[in-house]
Amino acid sequence: MSRAITRVLLSTSLTLALFLHHSVLVHAIPTDTTAAMASKSGSILKSALNAISQRGSTTDNLNSNACSYPSRPVPGSVNGSASPFWMEKIKHQGKAPFNSDPEGYKVFRNVKDYGAVGDGVHDDTAAINLAITSQNRCGGGTCHSSTVSPAIVYFPQGTYLISAPIIPYYYTQLIGDAKVPPTLLAAPSFDGFAVIDANPYIPAGGGAQYFQATNNFHRSIRNFVIDVRQVPPEKQQGTGIHWQVAQATSLINIVFEMSAAPNTAHQGIWMENGSGGFMGDLVFNGGKFGIWGGNQQFTVRNITVNNAQTGVYSLWNWGWTYQDVKFNNCQIGFDISTGGLTVETQTTGAQTIIDATVTNTPIFIQTSQPSNGSLAGSLVINNAKLTNVPAAVRVASNGAIVLAGTSPLVRTKTIASWVQGNVYKGNSGQAHFTQGNVEAPTKPSMLLDSQGKVVGKAHPQYADHDVEDFVSVRDFGAVGDGVTDDTKALQAVFDKFSSCKIIFLDAGFYVVSSTLTIPAGTRLVGEAWSVIAGKGPAFQNQLKPQVVVRVGERWGQSQQVTEITDVVFTTVGPAAGAIVVEWNVRQPDGVQAGAGMWDTHIRLAGSKGTNLEASTCPQFATGSYDPCYAAFMSLHITPSATGYFEGTWVWLADHDLDLEGEGMITVYAGRGILSESQGPVWMIGTASEHHVIYQYNLVRAKNHYMGLIQTESPYFQPKPAVPTPFRIDPAYHDPKPFEGSASSWALAVKDSQDILIFGAGLYSFFVNYSQDCVKTRDCQTQIATISSSSSNVNVYGLSTVASVYQLSVDGVGVIDQKDNVDGFASTVTVWRSAR
Ligand SMILES: *[C@@H]1O[C@H](CO)[C@@H](O)[C@H](O)[C@H]1NC(C)=O
Ligand SMILES: *[C@@H]1O[C@H](CO)[C@@H](O)[C@H](O)[C@H]1NC(C)=O
Ligand SMILES: *[C@@H]1O[C@H](CO)[C@@H](O)[C@H](O)[C@H]1NC(C)=O
Ligand SMILES: *[C@@H]1O[C@H](CO)[C@@H](O)[C@H](O)[C@H]1NC(C)=O
Ligand SMILES: *[C@@H]1O[C@H](CO)[C@@H](O)[C@H](O)[C@H]1NC(C)=O
């Protein structure tokens, strides 16, 4: 946004009764958890029966025409070649209701319908780009963002010969058959920027690009093999993906095949800036670089790099979290540009690495500059297992080995907890520069898998289910046209099918006028981010907040596998009383991450259909607040819930995505994410932005893993100051605003235990829409507060922008950012609670 500001100044968003017998004993059994469920069904039944006796009667959705999930995959469906992925076969009736041609516009596009052949011989480039661009979509350098033309561009099994970049337009998901991922085969003559270029430079455009990097939202690429091995090894054109993106983006399940020749210049992912984002479940074979990256922040989970020269090169960042990284037979695992401590010389601000396995790689981590004696780029290593890795941390400029690795005699080594940067504890503001081991945090076992790593779970795609296992909400009367009240139709589909079918929310904008309950046990799959929006008087009173979408009954034992993917939850304004999503579900015992959301966002205002657009809520409005309330709270995770949230963007818009020029808007949502959960909760690559009172608030919460979390304060604050135009509501545990000209808390933690925050980017870019305070690093005085009553709270890689204090205890500033200047942001490498 803010078109005229220079790169680093750009902010992100810029950034049973009967039912229970049946459903427990017979179904709700996804194939991947069959065994776990079977062994647990006794205890689930018991808790279900308890639930009933506790409640007397159940308000859960009784299902008289019970149907059941197949207890094992449909024959032939695991063996992919026999039958295509369900997504290819399902009836395509997704709609973009706000498109200028709502009836004719196609959301789902199979590249073969646009002339692609997929035989590895025909050049399919033009056909694929036709599938992407047809029907007047947003891109090409003239349109920077739009929500009215979403698309899934689908690739059946096959090999697609590519001679020039595939250019995904705004709001595009490129999805390959998940059973046998298609190959994008770069032709020997391939000469473009990358096989897939998510943000092309306009030829002769003086550096201009299709999209503003920090506003390049809503993109996903899934299930591909990208093979550049035919491109001569010395050519950098052998690049898989140019991924210069921002929030609500993901790369999932992609294999990059590159030359392993000594002179290889191939690279898997190339990214020079942006404000991401999540990527995971990626494999890189060969290449000069697996990932070459510069971006404000990113979360990377489960990548494997084999036989590359450098696994990950890091040009610059304010903070990236790497979870579950594997390097095999590389020369260097992480090569990190460091030492740039001013805005102008920004290099890698914070590299925060958890659960790494490194094998036969001479150097695990190399920093470009030394950090002896003082902060020069924060580095955290937690639980790295090295086998035949002689140098764990090395400095390129002087060859110093800062942390030794293995030796010929001792060929394996585990690094439990090693850091380079400033370490703090409790309410002491004294920085202790540390280049060495620090006490490892105690990680609650419920957050870990059987190998002791933080749990990760890939975005469910149901590749082993056939199309018969799905029901479409449109087939059962939901309209999704942005106008019709779909409350009853959607509720009926959930009530009838939640325990036995995967529910397909065909692309559309579904309006609900009262609380919609998504029962525990539901698998809900959206299409190019189908929208569910709360609208009307039920959601307008901030003194009587009402839930728009309730996932699982609140006080019931909502303990079943529950998965939501590719959906956007929102409101149609005004909606001062809307709690957009209330999350009550609990994973079954023994099924880690059994209740979660992937690539599912809460996105408020700033898009067609929300009635909270630039015309109603311009940047400098003079009237009352009333028309511009977007929500009371975005996400509430209740005490008995568990949750796995991956790539969840909780965004109150700062600009209108459908306005030419991306003009700013001023809208109001009270609260971001409130968690009272006892855990386990995993927040992997989540963000919460622009809410008035706080972005993340943990109250009496336990057992949370959060990495990386990213926030921004509202740009208008402190005019009005917190909590205006809301009020502090004790019933919802609102934290007390800090003294002075108060802006939102990015993070508040109260009376909580066993909280591991592994990477945080908490940003404040404005005072009353002015960015002058960025230069003086004081847009607000405080930004994160942890109560002294909380215990075993560990924060690693905390990068803040323009908050005088980076961390407070009991609302009193403790860590002064001056002591941790690390480029544009200031970085605390470790803070741990006093108890
Ligand atoms: C993105 O980064 C590249 C390389 O550092 C730079 O040339 C380009 O100007 C940047 N683009 C924007 C929009 O900041
Ligand atoms: C898939 O089916 C083919 C042909 O029936 C068979 O040859 C192959 O072994 C099967 N693969 C798997 C993984 O079952
Ligand atoms: C990690 O990614 C690989 C490759 O996509 C996949 O096979 C594996 O199941 C993933 N592991 C987890 C824990 O998600
Ligand atoms: C840092 O340490 C290395 C050796 O470990 C030394 O060569 C270098 O001069 C030191 N740099 C500074 C700035 O102290
Ligand atoms: C905030 O800034 C705008 C634009 O500069 C200005 O018009 C307005 O008066 C300011 N508001 C206050 C309360 O300072």
pLDDT tens-digit readout, 634-649 = 999 999 999 999 999 9
Predicted confidence at residue 69, as pLDDT, reads 59
User: Is 370 domain-assigned?
Assistant: no
CA 625, distance to chain mean position in Å, is 30
Does residue 37 surpass a pLDDT of 50? no
Predicted confidence at residue 163, as pLDDT, reads 98
Dist. CA 323–CA 262, nearest whole Å: 29
Dist. CA 195–CA 79, nearest whole Å: 28
Is the distance from CB of 533 to CB of 512 less than 8 angstroms?
Answer: yes
* Pocket residue to mutate for ligand 2, from 74, 81, 180, most atoms within 8 A of Cβ: 81
Q: Nearest bound ligand to CA 315? A: 1
Share of the chain above pLDDT 90, in %: 87
Residues 6+ apart with CB under 8 A from 615: none
pLDDT tens digits for 669-691?
999 999 999 999 999 999 999 99
User: Is 798 domain-assigned?
Assistant: yes
* CA 76 / ligand 2 centre spacing (Å): 9
* Pocket residue to mutate for ligand 5, from 2, 619, 620, most atoms within 8 A of Cβ: 620
Confidence band for 201, pLDDT divided at 50, 70 and 90: very high
Dist. CA 174–CA 312, nearest whole Å: 24
Host H or E run for residue 45: helix 34-55
Predicted confidence at residue 17, as pLDDT, reads 28
Confidence band for 83, pLDDT divided at 50, 70 and 90: confident
pLDDT: which is higher, 225 or 72: 225
Residue whose structure tokens are 């507060």: 785
Q: What is the mean pLDDT of residues 684-704?
A: 98
Is the distance from CB of 243 to CB of 269 less than 8 angstroms?
Answer: yes
Does residue 79 surpass a pLDDT of 60? no
Predicted confidence at residue 349, as pLDDT, reads 98
Q: Is 677 helix (H, G, I), strand (E, B) or coil?
A: coil
DSSP code, position 542: T
Dist. CA 789–CA 702, nearest whole Å: 13
Confidence band for 34, pLDDT divided at 50, 70 and 90: very low
Ligand 5 contacts CB of residue 411 (under 6 A):
no
Whole-number CA gyration radius for the chain: 25
CA angle centred on 28, ends 466 and 152, rounded to 5°: 40
Least confident of 45-54, 415-424, 712-721: 45-54
User: Is 424 domain-assigned?
Assistant: no
What is the residue type of 820? N
Rounded to the nearest 5°, which phi and psi values hold at 484? -60, 140
* CA 198 / ligand 1 centre spacing (Å): 14
Dist. CA 525–CA 465, nearest whole Å: 13
Dist. CA 632–CA 686, nearest whole Å: 20
Does residue 804 surpass a pLDDT of 60? yes
Confidence band for 12, pLDDT divided at 50, 70 and 90: very low
Does residue 799 surpass a pLDDT of 90? yes
Q: Which atom of ligand 1 is nearest to the CA of 315?
A: 5
Q: Nearest bound ligand to CA 394? A: 4
Does residue 543 surpass a pLDDT of 90? yes
How many angstroms separate the Cα of 711 from the Cα of each of 15, 201, 247, 685? Answer: 9, 28, 11, 11
Ligand 3 contacts CB of residue 421 (under 6 A):
no
Q: Which atom of ligand 4 is nearest to the CA of 398?
A: 7
Predicted confidence at residue 555, as pLDDT, reads 72
Q: What is the mean pLDDT of residues 254-273?
A: 98
User: Is 66 domain-assigned?
Assistant: no
Strands 784-786 and 805-809 come out as parallel
Host H or E run for residue 561: none
User: Is 593 domain-assigned?
Assistant: yes
Confidence band for 28, pLDDT divided at 50, 70 and 90: very low
pLDDT tens digits for 286-317?
999 999 999 999 999 999 999 999 999 999 99
Q: Nearest bound ligand to CA 80? A: 2
Confidence band for 6, pLDDT divided at 50, 70 and 90: very low
Does residue 45 surpass a pLDDT of 70? no
Residues 6+ apart with CB under 8 A from 450: none
Strands 289-294 and 267-271 come out as parallel
* CA 358 / ligand 5 centre spacing (Å): 54
Strands 401-404 and 363-367 come out as unpaired
Per-residue DSSP letters for 382-439?
EEEEEES-SEEEEETTT--EEEE---SSS-EEEEEEEEEEEEEETT----EEEEEE-P
Residue nearest to atom 13 of ligand 5 (CA): 719
Query: CA-based diameter of the chain, in Å?
Result: 74
pTM above threshold 0.85: yes
Q: Is the dihedral of CA 259, 260, 264, 265 positive or negative?
A: positive
Tokens describing residue 116: 């692609």
CATH of the domain at 775: 2.160.20.10
Dist. CA 154–CA 108, nearest whole Å: 7
Total domains, the chain: 2
Q: Is 514 helix (H, G, I), strand (E, B) or coil?
A: coil
Residue nearest to atom 10 of ligand 4 (CA): 372
Share of the chain above pLDDT 70, in %: 90
Dist. CA 299–CA 241, nearest whole Å: 17
* Pocket residue to mutate for ligand 5, from 719, 724, 767, 771, most atoms within 8 A of Cβ: 719
Q: What is the mean pLDDT of residues 769-788?
A: 98
Ligand 2 contacts CB of residue 430 (under 6 A):
no
Is the distance from CB of 693 to CB of 726 less than 8 angstroms?
Answer: yes
Residue whose structure tokens are 């299902």: 63
* Domain around 482: 465-514+528-832
Does residue 22 surpass a pLDDT of 50? no
Confidence band for 43, pLDDT divided at 50, 70 and 90: very low
pLDDT: which is higher, 68 or 403: 403
Predicted confidence at residue 556, as pLDDT, reads 64
Ligand 4 contacts CB of residue 142 (under 6 A):
no
User: Is 436 domain-assigned?
Assistant: no
Residues 6+ apart with CB under 8 A from 277: 243, 245, 246, 247, 249, 250, 295, 297, 298, 299, 685
Taking alpha carbons only, the member of 531, 491, 496 closest to residue 515 is 491
Does residue 140 surpass a pLDDT of 60? yes
- H helix intervals, 720-832: 772-775
Does residue 20 surpass a pLDDT of 60? no
Tokens describing residue 568: 């956007």
Q: In this structure, how many other beta carbons lie within 10 angstroms of the beta carbon of residue 697?
A: 27
Is the distance from CB of 496 to CB of 524 less than 8 angstroms?
Answer: no
User: Is 385 domain-assigned?
Assistant: no
Dist. CA 226–CA 446, nearest whole Å: 36
Is the distance from CB of 800 to CB of 806 less than 8 angstroms?
Answer: yes
What is the residue type of 208? A
Does residue 466 surpass a pLDDT of 90? no
pLDDT tens digits for 149-160?
999 999 999 999
What is the residue type of 816? D
User: Is 176 domain-assigned?
Assistant: yes
Confidence band for 40, pLDDT divided at 50, 70 and 90: very low
Dist. CA 524–CA 551, nearest whole Å: 11
Average pLDDT of every residue of the chain: 91
Residue nearest to atom 7 of ligand 2 (CA): 79
CA angle centred on 550, ends 549 and 551, rounded to 5°: 115
Ligand 5 contacts CB of residue 769 (under 6 A):
yes
pLDDT: which is higher, 630 or 662: 630
Predicted confidence at residue 48, as pLDDT, reads 34
Q: How many CA atoms lie within 13 A of 250 on its CB side?
A: 27
